[in-house]
Structure 1
Amino acid sequence: MESSERLALCIENKDWDTLVSILKPKDFCSDIPRTLCDFNKLLKVAELLTDKDFNISEKIKSILLKCLANSCVNGYLEKAYVPNDGGDISAHKNIYKFLSQEVSNWSEEGPYPFHINFPYDGVVRWAIKTITDYASTQKRLSEDQTEVLRLSLQFLCNFFTFAFNISTSTNADVIMEYIKDQNFKDTIIKLVGHDRAPIARAACAYVHNMVKQLFKEFYATIDKKELTAELIKSTISDIQAALDTVILLLKEPNYLKDIYDEISIDDRLYLLDIIHQEVRSFVYNEENKNTHWLPIESIEFLSDKFKKKSDLILKTVNSELNNIEPTEVTILIDILGVLTSNPKLDECKKLQEDKSLLINCVYLLKAIHMVGKDTNNCFTPLQKLSDLALHTKADCCNEAEDPNNHVCKEKIQNHPAFGFKASLIRVIGNLVHKHEKNQNLVRENDGIPLLLDCCNIDARNPLIIQWTTLAIRNLVDKNPENQEVIGKSVKIGVVDSAVVREMGLTLHDEGEGNAIGIMPLPKKD
């Protein structure tokens, strides 16, 4: 007796124990072409799953779903079945039961290409209804129900990835109507951020595959704001498919613009952090030449956002201001710093053409530098290493010898202004790299003396001397006018840096234009 016949007998007698023992999901993973027996066996599985009259248990549903999901992988392609008489197959209560009866009269060359095709639409409809019903229940799902929900999502993942081609499927319009159902779309978004990780993983995998395979149809009809919020929630929970989906969406030209101002500030910061990490990986990969990870539209959008919001960083001088929004500006400048760091890439070339960005950076640097000189605030340079030395005790501020003048390292490093000045100089240096017009623009806006004045050790801005030196080097590269500005600079004296003195050294000027040397401090008696 063939396996399909044994399966049919179990279904007829409702012998579920025997059915479970003979039904092996791995048997449905074979490659096409498949036999008429294979086709008939899958029909029986689909019939049993979709026919309410059988009233099977959740565990049996799970086994059936695994079989159907496996049949999609490197297997059958979806194709609607049309009876020879041209009748409407949907008129039958269960199309798979009807087909099973039809198949009994087929030879190896039947009226339907069963070697390579299968009419999955009935299973797709059942899976979508099950997902919607289970997700909307007010009661907490049992473990078995949770597994059916997860496997229903898994089946849809496999189906749309392997078994469905919108351009060739004869049933594409019908199936697309199923997934465009508003109730189902809202359900999927809710499941993406589900508190049960297996459900969230499956939902994220489904969304990832839809974005990858059917972006146009999926993206146009989904609530982008809510989807992004739920994806970020699952990304924070270390669900890789959620992060992969966000990265896929970020590569679409209008996505960032569509959702940026709609999502919460916390989600926005997390999204910017993802962008920062991804552009770092991309830009610093030497194999990427003349290509871009972020769409040009998104790069322009981020640049515009920085220009519009950059003055928020100046408001951090007021300690009462919430630090969240200024943090957005600090991440934006870090992203721009990475994007402008490789002159071979399109991203850098595009930003170098943005004159308003360069002017904004120069004037913002000037404002920050002046504010830091006026009073003791978050932009005032720290030139003592001891200022940032954390005490070994938990409450360093209360235990400090001089609480009024004590500087807490943790507070300094967590402040949005930490490193911002150096990041700003980095972007300026990158924008003028081998770009004569930008070099001239900085000179015309008095940027060269400003940069020279910034070239001091500052514990609030690690590597500020290095970034400033590089920026000045880029400014004078093949630019005689800028070289002349540097040449005409007058040395007033040697800065008495508290940092250097704290290290037991002093700067010594030999006079008459000779070099400045570093000498040990005289020993105290």
Structure 2
Amino acid sequence: MAAPMEHLTAAYRLLEAWEIGCTDGVQSAVDRVRRVTELFKEAEHRENADEKIFTLLLKILSRALGEIQAKSSTSDSSPECWLDLSTECFRCLRNSCVQCSRNQNTIGNVGLIEETVSLIKVLSSSSNCSESFLVAFRCGLQFLGNVAGGNQGSQNRIWNHAFPQLFLSCLTHEDEKVATYGSMVLFTCMREDKMADLMVSANLEVAVNVITAYNKWPNAEWLQLIVMDRFLRYPELLKQIYASLSHSDRVVLIELIMAKVSDKSLLSVEELAILQKIAEFLSECFQSQCKAVLKLAGPTHCDEQEGVVVVRLLDILCEMTSDSEHLTCLQSSPGLLDTVVETLRLTHLVGKQSKNIFTSTHTASLGSDLTHAAVGFKAHLIRLIANLCYGNKDNQDKIYELDGIPLILDNCSIDDNNPFLNQWAFYAIRNLTKNNERNQGVIANLERQGLADASALARMGLEVEEHDGKLVLRSVKKM
């Protein structure tokens, strides 16, 4: 059996003969490169590859680049055969890098990364969307991903030559595989020392288009990883991205943050501090956008995107305040509790003015539209009030000052548009009255005046009793 080096030497000589003579046509070169591609599938051949074979592949790619540029500029000739040759070179190089840092370094040293980026830029800027163009584009990106894997030198070379233009071309491309492979390369090269480049206003478009591309291609895991493992570590970058997104893309970003928040794995002190900064930012976003939810009351605006953003912001604030690690920072968030109470007041008023998603509805058949974006919104407002008042005397008193207790009691009836409303109202009253006699007295006086529905209190497990001429609110269940 021939030694690995003998196989490689024979393949190299065949390829060199074509490159020097070019007498057998381009298809012959494709076949000869393919022999090397097959050899590089085996670790013993990859480990015995000599620098000269990579230098030869560089020459072939350089020639292919020139031919593709020339033929693409004329309408009477096609670069198909040269595209096929480029594709096979990329496959060959892709294979050579598998678990072989020596080949990764050699490829970088001979200039193959720069030449590959140049060729891919030509492919990305072409209006030709033939399968040959797409396959070459995809394979080139796969090669860049392999040569960058675990190799900082390759990562730096790719970043220096591909950022931001090539990454933008991939993220905005109509082909899902191009977007996926491009995001793989972006994620691999996006180390901590590169994050500052994204924050430059001229380059922010790359980060924004990661979210836009994920909105379009939600199965592209590399796009998700970029957000989860890169962007969410940098609250200041996240703020810039959010400000530049469409409402639809903001919903996607919020849902990705929700996935991170819902992950119950143990957080480091640094990770917790970062998420708390993000929580404070989301609180500010909710406060500035909350009135947009009223647009969802219109009969033809059930999916109005700015309103949906507000719904998702409320969802994530509820989730964050359910966790003691995030609760404290949001309990002291300036203006948040005031905004939540005011939003509950507004939606309650809108629901009374006309029949809409904020109108309390109860039917035996549960006939409400449970697909409407604002289903559960009022229940979640009360849930957030409950969370913000949990063990917090200042916020309990704030609700008293805002006259929020009668408002909560007026929103505790069974409501098809707000599943679990009673449960959240009970939890809110529990948190508002615990160790707070003034708030207990408010509810007791409302019941005596007939302003609090005794049956509603009963559904929440509460009742009012008189002791020594004084009305006392007590639980018929264990609080």
Q: In which range does the TM-score fall when normalised by the shorter chain?
A: 0.7 to 0.9
Q: Aligned pair 1:239/2:224, yes or no?
A: no
* CA–CA separation in structure 2 for the residues paired with 1:374 and 1:17: 73
- Kept after mapping to 2: 8 A contact 1:161/1:209: yes
Secondary structure of residue in 1 paired with 2:417: coil
Using the TM superposition, give the Cα deviation of residue 73 of structure 1 relative to its aligned residue in structure 2, in angstroms: 3.8
1:76 to 97, 101, 109: 101
* Match in the other structure for 1:266: 248
The one-letter code of the counterpart of 1:240 is E
CA shift, 1:149, in A, is 1.3
Once residues 144 and 333 of structure 1 are traced to their aligned partners in structure 2, the CA distance between those partners, rounded to angstroms, is 47
Indicate the SS of the match to 2:112.
helix
AA matched with 1:147: V
* 1:189 correspondence with 2:134: no
Contact kept in structure 1, 2:65 and 2:119, CA below 8 Å: no
State how 1:91-170 maps to structure 2 within 5 Å.
119-120=108-109, 122-141=111-130, 143-165=131-153
1:385 match: secondary structure: coil
Q: Could you tell me whether the CA contact under 8 Å between 1:315 and 1:321 is conserved in 2?
A: yes
Q: Does 1:12 align with 2:16?
A: yes
1:9 CA drift (Å): 1.6
Q: Does 1:224 align with 2:207?
A: no
SS state at 2:153 partner: coil
What TM-score, normalized to structure 2?
0.76
Find the counterpart in structure 2 of residue 101 from structure 1: none
Equivalence map 1:40-51=2 (5 Å): 40-51=52-63
Say whether the 8 Å CA contact 1:355–1:438 is kept in structure 2.
no
Q: Which residue of 1 aligns with 2:75?
A: none
The one-letter code of the counterpart of 1:152 is: G
2:337 aligned to which of 315, 338, 358: 358
Task: Give the conservation status (yes or no) of the 8 Å contact 1:229–1:267.
Answer: no
Aligned partners of 2:11 and 2:296: how far apart in 1? 72
Match of 2:293 among 307, 313, 316: 313
Distance 2:406 2:329 in 1: 27
Deviation at residue 373 of structure 1 after TM alignment: 4.1
2:91 match? 66
Aligned with residue 179 of structure 1, among 162, 182, 193: 162
Question: What is the RMSD computed on CA atoms of the aligned residues?
Answer: 3.8
- The CA deviation string for residues 339-398 of structure 1, in whole angstroms up to 9 with x for no partner, is 11111x1x3221111141011112222333344445544432113334x43xxxxxxxxx
- Which residue is 2:406 aligned to? 449
Cα distance in 2 for partners of 1:368, 1:8 equals 74
Structure-2 residue corresponding to 1:215 = 194
Aligned length: 431
1:471: Cα distance to partner?
1.3
Render the CA deviation track for 1:266-316: whole Å, top value 9, x for unaligned: 22233333333443x32xx26447643964443222211211121233455
Identify the match of residue 332 of structure 1 among 290, 305, 313: 313
Query: If the length of structure 1 is used for normalisation, what is the TM-score?
Result: 0.70
SS for the counterpart of 1:139 is: coil
Aligned match of 2:258 in 276, 282, 289? 276
Q: Deviations over 1:116-172 (max 9, x none)?
A: 75544511111111111112222223x333222112111222223333338xx9xx5
Residues 211 and 249, structure 2, Cα contact 8 Å, conserved in 1: no
Q: List aligned pairs for 1:405-444, cutoff 5 A.
A: 409-410=368-369, 413-444=370-401
Whether contact under 8 Å (1:442, 1:448) holds in the other structure is yes
Structure 1 gaps of 5+ residues are 80-115, 390-408, 501-508, 518-525
Higher helix share: 2
Q: Does 1:23 align with 2:36?
A: yes
Query: Secondary structure in 2 aligned to 1:150?
Result: helix
- Indicate how the Cα distance of structure 1 residues 25 and 224 shifts in structure 2: closer, same or farther if over 3 A, else same: farther
Instruction: Classify 1:51/1:432 alpha carbon distance in 2 versus 1 (closer, same or farther; 3 Å).
Output: same
| Residues 59 and 324 (structure 1), Cα distance of their counterparts in 2 relative to 1, 3 Å cut | closer
Alpha-carbon separation, structure 2, partners of 1:228 and 1:379: 33
Q: 1:294 to 1:338 in 2, by over 3 A?
A: farther
Q: Deviations over 1:18-53 (max 9, x none)?
A: 734641356366499955x54444444344433559
Q: Does 1:464 align with 2:437?
A: no
Residue 284 of structure 2: aligned partner: 304
Q: How many angstroms does 1:258 deviate by?
A: 1.1
Q: Which stretches in structure 2 are left out of the alignment for 5+ residues?
A: 19-27, 68-80, 468-473
Confirm whether residue 256 of structure 1 aligns to residue 213 of structure 2.
Answer: no
Percent of aligned pairs with the same amino acid: 25
Q: Which amino acid aligns with 1:178?
A: H
Counterpart CA distance in 2 for 1:57 and 1:299 is: 52
Q: Is the 8 A contact 2:30 2:85 kept in 1?
A: no
1-side partners of 2:339 and 2:36: how far apart?
68
SS of equivalent to 1:454: coil
